[in-house]
Amino acid sequence: MVSNPSDPRTPAVVSSHLEAQALDNDPSLRQISFVTPRGKPVTLRYKQRARSVGSSARGHLENGRCLPEKGPGFVRFSKAGCGTDETATLVMFALGEMLATYPDIVPVVIGALSMPTGGRIKPHKSHRSGRDIDFGFFREGNVPLSRFEDIPFDRIDYERSFSLMANLIATGRVQSIYVNYALEKHLVKAASDMGYDDEQLSWLFQYPRGRGAKVGLIRHEKGHTRHFHVRFVCPVGDDSCREN
Ligand SMILES: [Zn+2]
């Protein structure tokens, strides 16, 4: 697979043999290899300049990499627009996959990540160390949104919303996704319709085991009816980061 730098949908996809050479020459380079939900092997390469210090709920961020207010496949409205290099790379990649899968898709609405140097942002308990990001749900009918909106539950586009989650999860770098339990059964149905089997659904979702069950990567968090929250694991090789 060869990257095309002029194509914003493939921001950092390179072949793995080019990768290994570059890694030897630059200790700040990182690479992550995985297979996308569509079955495509991918290696992402990026430079790690940011540090995620401490935990998501107490830590801070150094040299955060900030997303623009809009870009391919997204619009962003929060003043907290920064994450680790890994967060930014994975998000841009997943959004590129969404554009490749649904060429006409409206931009997803992105809310808070972290401030450039992290720390507390009201009203969030976490979002402090560059590993958290909030995404609005897609609305049925491909209706463009610019903020998180109260979409009636039967008007949320669960397939596209889950597809974005799946593209992020496939990277192997998602720790948890938080969403209101009331929406989980709809997401499960969408995932099932897309071909995910019972074993995968059981690993992916807390539903139907109850909103308090400590199982599933996608879990209940109160609120979270207008957006879902993605938390990434600590970046590769970042010793200052704490996952709990
Ligand atoms: Zn959040």
161 vs 1: CA distance, rounded Å = 27
Nearest to 35 by CA among 11, 4, 1: 1
Ordered by where they begin, the domains of the chain are: 16-232 (3.30.1380.10)
Tell me the residue ranges of DSSP E strands in 78-222: 82-83, 108-110, 132-136, 174-179, 218-220
Give strand pairing partners of 227: 136
219 vs 183: CA distance, rounded Å = 10
Distance in Å, CA 22 to ligand 1 centroid: 35
Distance in Å, CA 127 to ligand 1 centroid: 7
103 vs 81: CA distance, rounded Å = 25
- The 8-class DSSP code of residue 107 comes to P
CB 65 within 8 A of CB 49: yes
pLDDT 10s digits, 182-240? 999 999 999 999 999 999 999 999 999 999 999 999 999 999 999 999 999 999 989 99
pLDDT at 26: 83
What residues flank ion ligand 1 with Cβ within 5 A? 134, 229
**HSE-CB for 134 with a 13 A CA cutoff:** 27
pLDDT at 23: 62
- The 8-class DSSP code of residue 13 comes to B
Distance in Å, CA 135 to ligand 1 centroid: 8
pLDDT at 27: 84
147 vs 107: CA distance, rounded Å = 11
- Chunk the chain into consecutive blocks of 10 residues (it has 244) and report each block's average pLDDT, rounded to whole numbers: 36 42 75 92 94 97 97 97 98 97 97 97 95 98 97 98 97 96 98 95 97 97 97 94 90
* Token couple for 22: 């570059």
pLDDT at 25: 76
